């Protein structure tokens, strides 16, 4: 076993969590930045059609989230198994899981590409594209779909790097993809006058570069794991466990995608193109503010998985306690940024005065409960790392389950404002559930720690 994996069970929790989370956070922030830069460049390039261009990206977003949901289900499900196998000194089991992850991520990526390409127009219409937004959404998504096998492979396998404790390499992977995307955006969008298609092409090229880097890493012998082509043969037991654990991140992302579809359609009915663009911009800003929290979780999960597999329950509890504190601080910081600087942030994306004014008002409503979301994030990540599929699934879908009926009902009484009000209410309900489930698991770990 490589030193980076052994340190998961020996190094001090605070130092280890920082060492693993800091690179992951840097990588996630840059990833979030390039998603924002895409939208900024498109908004600026299209001028008077910026609302439609941003709306085109917004209605394409659920398709991209489905590809991400697939990759995260494989990546987080498989990496949870790998962390626990390494903690239990089962190298062959970890490598067999790795091989299954490679085969499954590529295969499912191609399925998304084929299905999406065949039904692209009906999908976009169902996802809320208005007649004025549809041409921009189609131009963007057609190119993105070519890169879905690369996206699913790269996102899934980067979790393997992180699961063995090699956070810096995982960070480099994200930096290469995000940095290249940011570099290519102005060249393709403005220099080659490709407009919204240039933003999509930049994403696909950057994912190709990320894939090459990951392949080189595993072939170089720097990993604790070795790739064996024979281990790509589907193993029913591994895939069943991977799917069970990965069901929660898949459910969270696919249900988020479904919520985006519902919200886009409701906004098209009550508010039109401007409201869809507002929601698209807000989603990117919110995701960016959450990236440090996701980076923290990515550093936390291999520590929890490894030490849980090694029966070092006190280390698991210490990791959770520190993570809740840090994630709560991050959540408060994200709230302050979005609430007090909403107008300035919207003005970066567009010069449309109506979009800026209405977007600022909507954002201040939607982020009211954001300061409380830290423990909700940690709770979901905790159950994924422990390999407990059912509670992880419940927490991953709670916010969407609460949000859906609110989004459908409140606009009857408050029009578009009802959509914005639905978000803080669902956040609060999800947080209350997360606190209850977190404390229940924490007490169980405490009893196991006392008895070990």
Sequence-distant (6+) residues with CB within 8 A of 285 are 36, 338, 345, 363
pLDDT digits (tens, 9 = 90+) for 3-25: 555 566 667 788 888 888 887 77
Same domain, 226 and 251: no
Tokens 């407009």 belong to: 195
pLDDT digits (tens, 9 = 90+) for 366-393: 999 999 999 988 888 888 788 777 888 7
Same domain, 263 and 207: no
262 lies in some domain: yes
Compute how many other C-beta atoms are within 10 angstroms of the C-beta atom of residue 146: 16
263 lies in some domain: yes
**In the listed set 234, 263, 296, which residue is the last one of a domain according to the structure?**
234
Same domain, 298 and 194: no
What is the pTM (predicted TM-score) of this model?
Answer: 0.73
Residue with the larger pLDDT of the pair 76 and 181: 181
Same domain, 166 and 288: no
Same domain, 432 and 379: yes
Same domain, 275 and 328: yes
pLDDT digits (tens, 9 = 90+) for 340-371: 999 999 988 888 888 899 999 999 999 999 99
DSSP-assigned letter for residue 220: T
Same domain, 428 and 355: yes
- The dihedral over CA atoms of 365, 62, 21, 86, expressed in degrees to the nearest 10, equals 140
pLDDT at 94 over 90: no
179 lies in some domain: yes
CA–CA separation, 365 and 278 (whole Å): 13
CA–CA separation, 444 and 161 (whole Å): 30
Q: What pLDDT shows up at residue 1?
A: 47
Same domain, 103 and 163: yes
Q: What pLDDT shows up at residue 247?
A: 74
Same domain, 285 and 353: yes
pLDDT digits (tens, 9 = 90+) for 288-322: 888 888 888 878 888 888 888 778 888 888 899 99
pLDDT at 248 over 80: no
Same domain, 199 and 313: no
DSSP-assigned letter for residue 166: -
Q: What angle do CA 397, 399, 401 make, to 5 degrees?
A: 65
For the chain, the domain total comes to 2
CA–CA separation, 397 and 399 (whole Å): 6
Tokens representing 53 are 């261009």
Instruction: Decide: 72 and 257 in contact? Cβ < 8 Å.
Output: no
**In the listed set 207, 234, 261, which residue is the last one of a domain according to the structure?**
234
Same domain, 192 and 277: no
Which residues span the domain enclosing 398?
Answer: 247-451
H helices, E strands: number in the chain: 17, 0
Tokens representing 121 are 């127009």
């Amino acid at each position: 076993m490589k030193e980076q994996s052994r340190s998961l069970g020996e190094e001090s929790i605070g130092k280890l969590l920082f060492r693993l989370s800091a690179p992951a956070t840097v990588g996630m922030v840059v990833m979030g930045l390039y998603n924002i830069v895409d939208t900024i460049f498109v908004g600026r390039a299209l001028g008077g059609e910026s609302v439609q261009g941003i709306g085109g990206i917004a209605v394409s977003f659920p398709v991209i989230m489905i590809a991400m949901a697939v990759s995260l289900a494989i990546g987080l499900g498989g990496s949870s198994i790998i962390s626990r196998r390494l903690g239990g000194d089962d190298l062959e089991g970890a490598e067999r899981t790795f091989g299954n992850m490679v085969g499954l991520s590529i295969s499912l990526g191609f399925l998304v590409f084929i299905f999406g390409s065949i039904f692209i127009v009906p999908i976009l219409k169902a996802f809320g594209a208005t007649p004025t937004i549809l041409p921009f959404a189609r131009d963007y998504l057609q190119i993105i779909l070519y890169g879905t096998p690369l996206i699913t492979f790269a996102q899934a396998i980067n979790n393997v790097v992180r699961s063995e404790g090699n956070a810096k390499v995982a960070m480099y992977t994200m930096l290469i993809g995000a940095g290249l995307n940011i570099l290519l955006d102005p060249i393709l969008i403005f220099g080659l006058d490709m407009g919204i298609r240039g933003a999509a092409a930049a994403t696909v090229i950057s994912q190709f570069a990320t894939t090459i880097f990951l392949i080189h890493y595993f072939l170089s012998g720097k990993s604790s794991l070795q790739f064996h082509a024979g281990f790509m043969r589907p193993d029913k037991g591994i895939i069943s466990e991977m799917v069970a654990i990965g069901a929660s991140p898949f459910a969270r992302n696919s249900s988020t995608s479904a919520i985006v579809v519902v919200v886009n359609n409701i906004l098209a009915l009550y508010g039109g193109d401007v409201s869809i663009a507002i929601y698209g911009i807000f989603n990117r800003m919110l995701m960016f503010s959450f990236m440090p929290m996701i980076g923290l979780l990515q550093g936390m999960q291999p520590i929890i998985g490894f030490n849980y597999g090694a029966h070092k329950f006190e280390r698991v509890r210490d990791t959770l306690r520190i993570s809740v504190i840090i994630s709560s601080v991050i959540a408060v910081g994200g709230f302050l940024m979005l609430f007090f600087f909403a107008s300035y942030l919207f003005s970066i994306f567009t010069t449309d005065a109506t979009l800026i004014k209405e977007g600022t008002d909507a954002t201040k409503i939607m982020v009211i409960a954001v300061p409380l979301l830290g423990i909700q994030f940690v709770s979901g990540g905790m159950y994924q790392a422990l390999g407990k599929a059912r509670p992880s699934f419940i927490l991953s879908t709670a916010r969407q389950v609460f949000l859906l009926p609110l989004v459908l009902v409140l606009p009857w009484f408050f029009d578009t404002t009802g959509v914005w009000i639905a978000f803080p209410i669902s956040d609060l309900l999800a947080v209350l559930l997360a606190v209850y489930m977190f404390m229940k698991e924490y007490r169980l770990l405490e009893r196991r720690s006392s008895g070990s």
